[in-house]
């Protein structure tokens, strides 16, 4: 047996019929890391405070052109675990045009039973799967990760927002497997003033314990989805005040240190050459909370919540000693949805044939250096905002956020106003898209001239791909339309044992209001 591991997940696979991976663990740190493209030293961050991730890149493969499936966390994770765009798997809203939506406590929906998640499929190859950290695909009982293929869970169903008074709104629970073991800001404290919290160390220990238990017993898949770099940003005491970058840098340094320890234990257990590791993020850095609690998207425009490059292009590193040659850079256009399909291939499995799968198998790029032509679709809610094909990106709609929100200080593109591009009205360019050459202009500042031959050729190619995509698209039932305060985390499973059950308010379903 061999192991294969991915950042955002780790796994160990049995011997497959497929070529290269004789068995693998799949390991992945950071689904909700929300780290930007420019947050790693290997991508040019000047403080060089991510030595373990930089070494991981030096020993493996770096993807400079790797994308999230959405500029927000919940839809992005749903895409990762299903291999399907959020518009297909239901993680979007139709309450308003082109609105971002996610899974706060009051959301009624979650991951549908009809979706087949990666850990469910890996069971066919004997995998044991664990999620550590934030789930974010629905917090009601029917959406529990252990009902969707995972065997173990330590973490929370929602973001670590708070603290709340447990009257108007409950604090978020932390689960071990089926039952809560406490709540954020109570049994799991986060000091908002100092930024001190021990959560990353807890999540690290959960990962190490799982790897050690499974290494010689079963192929495994570990999905390490920590959220320390998501505002409110936190770090443990040994890391606080150690970064040149402030509290965000402290959190990034602790995550980097944790990944180093996980890679080290793989070497100690002599399974490093059988473990495939992939590191990436679920969306771009949130510039709205920068600079103290937000990261860097490098040369790219804007950040989280937008479909400009800063909101969708992610750091991505692949590591598999003895299989992926060291020091490689792949210019393959990649997507987090590819991790679904690639993971199945490593396990000797094929994706479901009864539904559209958007993820590619990246093994030819990882092991043979091949490049595969493919489009990248940038959705915001129910709307296809942009498409990249090759080096060209066409914007059919542009929008950062509303003038109302912008005037209240909510700025997704601080210091990056590009006239006619970073618009505060939802601008329709479907008849004459704005097209950028991302190689020459990664910051999306200089649209091609409509009259140029390059524009016309790029428009023709992209239009054809988009038309095929939209003609075949069957949207899933939207899961993020209905909110109800009665469904919040008032009385999660296990609350009776802890004396932590709270009384929910009257059930009043209503349409969720999404402003961005």
Q: Confirm or deny that 428 is annotated as ligand binding.
A: no
Closest-CA residue to 103 (of 204, 19, 196, 32): 32
Q: At what angle do helices 247-268 and 199-214 cross, to 10 degrees?
A: 10
- SS3 of residue 265 by DSSP: helix
User: Which is catalytic among the residues 25, 136, 148, 429?
Assistant: 136
Q: Confirm or deny that 501 is annotated as ligand binding.
A: no
The residue to which tokens 């790219």 are assigned: 300
Task: For residue 21, say if its preceding peptide bond is cis, omega within 30 degrees of 0.
Answer: no
Reported as type and span, the H/E element at residue 118 is helix 118-122
Cα 452 off chain centre by:
37
H-state helical runs in 284-368: 309-312, 337-346, 363-368
Largest CA distance in the chain: 69
Q: Confirm or deny that 65 is annotated as ligand binding.
A: no
Closest-CA residue to 460 (of 448, 475, 442): 448
Class of residue 94 by CB neighbours under 10 A (exposed 0-12, middle 13-18, buried 19+)? middle
Q: How far apart are CA 402 and CA 308, in angstroms?
A: 16
- Classify residue 261 by its DSSP letter: H
Pairing of strands 128-134, 152-156: parallel
User: Which is catalytic among the residues 30, 73, 159, 413?
Assistant: 73
Task: Clarify whether 139 is annotated catalytic.
Answer: no
Reported as type and span, the H/E element at residue 479 is none
Q: How far apart are CA 159 and CA 136, in angstroms?
A: 7
Phi and psi dihedrals of 469, rounded to 5?
-60, -45
Task: Clarify whether 30 is annotated catalytic.
Answer: no
**For residue 93, what are its two tokens?**
């809203």
Residues annotated within a binding site: 73, 282-283
Active site residues: 73, 136
Residues annotated within a binding site for Ca(2+): 73, 282-283
């Amino acid at each position: 047996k061999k192991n294969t591991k991915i950042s955002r997940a780790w796994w160990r696979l049995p011997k497959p019929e497929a070529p290269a991976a004789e068995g693998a663990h799949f390991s992945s740190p950071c689904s909700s890391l929300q780290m930007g493209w420019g947050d790693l030293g290997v991508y040019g961050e000047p403080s060089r405070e991510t030595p373990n991730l930089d070494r991981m890149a030096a020993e493996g493969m770096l993807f400079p052109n790797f994308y999230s499936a959405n500029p927000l966390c919940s839809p992005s994770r749903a895409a990762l675990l299903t291999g399907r765009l959020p518009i297909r798997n239901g993680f979007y809203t139709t309450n308003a045009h082109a609105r971002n939506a996610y899974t706060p406590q009051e959301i009624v929906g979650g991951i549908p039973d009809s979706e087949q998640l990666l850990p469910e499929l890996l069971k066919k190859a004997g995998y044991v799967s664990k999620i550590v950290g934030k789930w974010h695909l629905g917090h009601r009982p029917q959406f529990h990760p252990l009902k969707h293929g995972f065997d173990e869970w330590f973490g929370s169903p929602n973001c670590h927002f708070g603290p709340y008074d447990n009257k108007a709104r409950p604090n978020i629970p932390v689960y071990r497997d089926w039952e809560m073991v406490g709540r954020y800001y109570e049994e799991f404290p986060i000091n908002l003033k100092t930024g001190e919290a021990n959560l990353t160390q807890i999540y690290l220990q959960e990962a190490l314990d799982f790897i050690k238990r499974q290494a010689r017993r079963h192929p495994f898949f570990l999905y390490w989805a920590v959220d320390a770099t998501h505002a409110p940003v936190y770090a443990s005491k040994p890391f606080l005040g150690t970064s040149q970058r402030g509290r965000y840098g402290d959190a990034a340094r602790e995550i980097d240190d944790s990944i180093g320890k996980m890679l080290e234990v793989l070497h100690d257990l002599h399974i490093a050459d059988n473990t495939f590791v992939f590191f990436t993020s679920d969306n771009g850095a949130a510039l709205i909370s920068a600079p103290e609690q937000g990261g860097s998207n490098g040369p790219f425009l804007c950040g989280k919540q937008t479909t400009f490059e800063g909101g969708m292009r992610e750091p991505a590193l692949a590591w598999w000693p003895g299989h992926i040659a060291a020091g490689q850079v792949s210019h393959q256009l990649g997507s987090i949805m590819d991790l679904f399909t690639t993971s199945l291939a490593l396990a000797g499995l094929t994706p479901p044939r009864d539904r559209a799968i958007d993820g590619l198998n990246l093994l030819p790029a990882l092991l043979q250096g091949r490049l595969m032509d493919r489009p990248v679709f940038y959705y915001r809610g129910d709307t296809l905002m942009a498409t990249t094909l090759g080096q060209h990106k066409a914007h059919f709609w542009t929008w950062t956020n509303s003038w109302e929100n912008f005037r209240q200080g909510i700025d997704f593109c601080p210091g990056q106003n590009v006239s006619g591009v970073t618009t505060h009205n939802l601008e329709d360019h479907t008849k004459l898209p704005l097209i950028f050459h991302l190689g020459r202009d990664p910051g999306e500042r200089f649209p091609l001239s409509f009259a140029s031959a390059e524009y016309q050729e790029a428009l023709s190619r992209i239009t054809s791909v988009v038309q095929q995509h939209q003609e075949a698209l069957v949207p899933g039932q939207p899961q993020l339309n209905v909110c109800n305060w009665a469904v919040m985390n008032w009385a999660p499973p296990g609350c009776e044992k802890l004396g932590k059950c709270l009384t929910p308010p009257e059930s009043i379903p209503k349409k969720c209001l999404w402003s961005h």
